[in-house]
């Protein structure tokens, strides 16, 4: 017995030394990882600030163009806001690149180029305000404005390339630190398991205590994993009775509460009143076993009293018997994204009163689509969000016009517009370019979404045909062009790519003898 006790104590001592060494390795590796990720975040902030400057300058151009063409002061709002925001945006960028002499030199050149561009825009606006439209248009046609804007784009591209190279280096540093930390955690876990096995084999009476210790260790490791993967997110664990049992330290940065303050609150009391019904539905589905994971976007009250929008993904964790025992939630603050989408939607509604609508379908015409899609395109570039431009063509339009008449052809176009509006999201930009051609610009759209959109259109088209009892069946060909995160493809290039993709599908349908839009019979 004494020999066994001595052996156990020796094992404890060896494991203690090993775990301590691994813990120190993990600690220092973790600090290296945090430092590297802070550098990555600064680089991303610089890239965002540069894109924001370019976006503001484009807004100034948009306001200038609208005002010179119409003479209406309301078109000057983007120009006025850009002039107001550009100094602070430049100051913010200067603060971010303070320690980079090469970027500081480029920034000074960029500042001069932006001032020259703004001076040119202001000059044309003042000429138009003085009713000298001819001279203003002559200045614009001279190409001087485009040349100034090209210089700005070239300079920002150099700065972005510099930051991209720095970003790759810093990501590599972060990856090395992360791998070292993960190795340390893995070794520590392996040593802990070996120790548990050793204790089980040597002292049977310690079994119950070891089980409890292993469960506590597994929970601690889960908390560590959650913090590692969602360091900037709001991570919570919630029991099935609605009580929060764990919240990540990021709650203080995101919502203003300390961990202790948040744990003492009822999470439903922090929900916006309009979002409470969503919470009730989730709990009912969970209790009935209909949902084990999902995603919701809702508002949570900040300690200051304001509401912040969070995109929350949740997973039901199960006990040993397979029954749900608690919820794991990871939420990201998306307030700026929601507000930007609201502004975009508001801007689209304002344009309804202008001559930017197709008279037949009520959709945007070519000019209206290009105006609104340009704003959505800027949002995608500024916020680093994926987007796509989808070209849609109504099959068999010529045959309908020839055999059934143009009135029936107009009805087919109206039905197509209605189907597209029901298949798309409210924030998507939809227009009719002319004839039987429609086009969509959608944020947060990837190639994986195209097949589901095609399926929705097919279902809605069949429903429309059955409901309207028209002498034809709707059929559409479509092609998509994509703007992944980090890409800078122009709206014009996206239009050309989507058009080519659509005609490739249309030609394939014809080759297969499957142009399905035609009068029945």
Same domain, 412 and 329: no
Bridge partners, residue 316, by sequence: 327
Bridge partners, residue 440, by sequence: 390, 430
- How far apart CA 453 and CA 4 sit, in angstroms, is 69
Residue 520 lies in a domain: no
Of 229, 258, 283, which residue constitutes the final position of a domain? 229
**DSSP string for residues in 158-204:** HHHHHHHHHHHHHHHHHHHHHHHHHHHHHHHHHHHHHHHHHHHHH-G
Same domain, 239 and 164: no
Residue 393 has pLDDT above 90, yes or no: yes
Residue 495 lies in a domain: yes
Of 281, 305, 333, which residue constitutes the final position of a domain? 333
Q: Which residue has the higher pLDDT, 457 or 347?
A: 457
Residue 22 has pLDDT above 70, yes or no: no
pLDDT tens for each residue of 102-153:
989 999 999 999 999 889 989 888 888 888 888 888 888 888 888 998 999 9
- Return the pLDDT at 249: 94
Same domain, 50 and 151: yes
Query: In the predicted model, what is the mean pLDDT of residues 342-371?
Result: 83
pLDDT category at 515 given cuts 50, 70, 90 is very low
Say if CB 375 and CB 425 are below 8 A apart: no
Of 229, 245, 264, which residue constitutes the final position of a domain? 229
- How far apart CA 220 and CA 108 sit, in angstroms, is 50
Same domain, 360 and 470: yes
Could you tell me the sign of the dihedral formed by the alpha carbons of 150, 152, 154, 156, in that order?
Answer: negative
Of the candidate ranges 112-116, 227-231, 250-254, 426-430, the one whose mean pLDDT is the lowest? 227-231
Same domain, 351 and 321: no
Residue 480 lies in a domain: yes
Same domain, 344 and 212: no
Per the structure block, which two tokens stand in for 388? Answer: 């796509």
Rounded to 5 degrees, what angle do the CA atoms 61, 62, 67 make?
100
pTM of the model as a whole: 0.39
The gap from C-alpha 149 to its chain's centroid, in whole angstroms, comes to 27
- Return the pLDDT at 213: 63
pLDDT category at 508 given cuts 50, 70, 90 is confident
pLDDT tens for each residue of 195-225:
657 655 665 555 566 577 667 767 766 665 5
CA distances for 335 relative to 234, 346, 382, angstroms: 14, 16, 15
Residue 1 lies in a domain: yes
Residue 95 lies in a domain: yes
Query: In the predicted model, what is the mean pLDDT of residues 465-474?
Result: 88
- Using alpha carbons only, how large is the chain's radius of gyration in Å? 30
**Which CATH number fits the domain that encloses residue 275?**
3.30.450.20
Same domain, 47 and 114: yes
Query: In the predicted model, what is the mean pLDDT of residues 450-475?
Result: 91
Same domain, 294 and 357: no
Which residue is listed with tokens 């959608």? 442
Residue 521 lies in a domain: no
Count of structural domains within the chain: 3
Say if CB 404 and CB 463 are below 8 A apart: no
Same domain, 359 and 278: no
Per the structure block, which two tokens stand in for 279? Answer: 């919470």
List the one residue out of 63, 107, 110 whose CA is nearest residue 83: 63
Backbone angles phi, psi at 238, to 5 degrees: -135, 130
Per the structure block, which two tokens stand in for 341? Answer: 């989408």
**Residue 494: which domain range?**
338-511
Same domain, 38 and 91: yes
- Return the pLDDT at 228: 42
Say if CB 240 and CB 325 are below 8 A apart: yes
- Return the pLDDT at 260: 93
Same domain, 69 and 146: yes
Query: In the predicted model, what is the mean pLDDT of residues 475-504?
Result: 94
Per the structure block, which two tokens stand in for 3? Answer: 């020999």
- Return the pLDDT at 3: 56
Please state, rounded to an integer, the average pLDDT across all residues of the chain.
84
pLDDT category at 401 given cuts 50, 70, 90 is very high
Bridge partners, residue 313, by sequence: 295, 330
**Which CATH number fits the domain that encloses residue 419?**
3.30.70.270
- Return the pLDDT at 444: 95
Residue 517 lies in a domain: no
Same domain, 449 and 358: yes
Residue 426 lies in a domain: yes
- Return the pLDDT at 203: 55
Query: In the predicted model, what is the mean pLDDT of residues 54-66?
Result: 86
Say if CB 199 and CB 150 are below 8 A apart: no
């Amino acid at each position: 017995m004494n020999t066994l006790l001595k052996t156990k104590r020796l094992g404890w001592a060896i494991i203690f030394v090993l775990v301590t060494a691994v813990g120190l390795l993990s600690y220092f590796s973790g600090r290296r990882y945090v430092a590297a990720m802070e550098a990555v975040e600064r680089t991303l902030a610089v890239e965002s600030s540069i894109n924001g400057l370019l976006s503001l300058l484009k807004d100034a151009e948009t306001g200038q163009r609208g005002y010179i063409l119409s003479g209406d002061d309301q078109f000057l709002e983007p120009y006025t806001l850009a002039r107001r925001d550009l100094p602070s945006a430049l100051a913010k960028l200067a603060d971010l690149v303070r320690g980079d002499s090469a970027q500081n030199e480029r920034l000074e050149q960029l500042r001069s180029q932006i001032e020259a561009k703004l001076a040119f825009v202001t000059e044309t606006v003042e000429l138009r305000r003085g009713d000298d439209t001819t001279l203003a248009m002559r200045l614009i046609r001279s190409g001087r404005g485009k040349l100034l804007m090209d210089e700005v784009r070239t300079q920002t591209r150099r700065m972005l390339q510099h930051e991209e190279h720095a970003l790759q280096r810093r990501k590599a540093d972060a990856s090395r630190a992360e791998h070292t930390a993960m190795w340390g955690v893995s070794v520590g876990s392996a040593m802990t398991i070996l120790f548990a096995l050793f204790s089980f084999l040597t002292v049977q009476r310690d079994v119950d205590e070891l089980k409890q210790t292993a469960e506590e260790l597994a929970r601690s490791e889960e908390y560590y994993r959650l913090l590692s993967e969602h360091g900037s997110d709001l991570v919570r664990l919630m029991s099935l009775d609605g009580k929060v049992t764990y919240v990540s330290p990021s709650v203080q940065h995101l919502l203003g509460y300390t961990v202790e303050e948040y744990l003492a609150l009822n999470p439903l009391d922090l929900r916006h009143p309009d979002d409470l019904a969503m919470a009730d539905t989730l709990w009912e589905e969970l209790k009935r076993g209909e949902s084990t994971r999902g995603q919701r976007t809702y508002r949570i009250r900040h300690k200051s009293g304001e509401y912040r929008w969070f995109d929350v993904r949740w997973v039901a964790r199960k006990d040993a018997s397979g029954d749900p025992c608690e919820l794991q939630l990871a939420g990201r603050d998306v307030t700026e994204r929601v507000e930007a989408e609201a502004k975009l939607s508001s801007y689209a509604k304002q344009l309804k009163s202008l001559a930017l609508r197709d008279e037949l379908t009520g959709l945007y015409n070519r000019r209206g689509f290009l105006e609104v899609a340009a704003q959505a395109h800027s949002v995608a570039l500024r916020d680093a969000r994926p987007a796509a431009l989808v070209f849609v063509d109504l099959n068999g339009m010529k045959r309908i016009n020839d055999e059934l008449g143009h009135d029936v052809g107009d009805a087919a176009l109206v039905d197509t517009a209605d189907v597209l509006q029901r298949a798309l999201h409210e924030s998507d930009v939809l227009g009719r370019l002319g004839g039987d051609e429609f086009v969509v610009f959608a944020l947060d759209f990837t190639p994986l979404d195209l097949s589901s959109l095609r399926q929705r259109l097919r279902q809605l088209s069949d429903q429309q045909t059955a409901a309207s009892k028209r002498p034809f069946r709707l059929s559409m060909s479509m092609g998509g062009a994509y703007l992944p995160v980090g890409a800078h493809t122009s709206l014009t290039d996206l239009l050309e790519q989507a058009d080519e993709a659509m005609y490739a599908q249309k030609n394939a349908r014809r080759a297969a003898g499957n142009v399905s839009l035609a009068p029945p019979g």
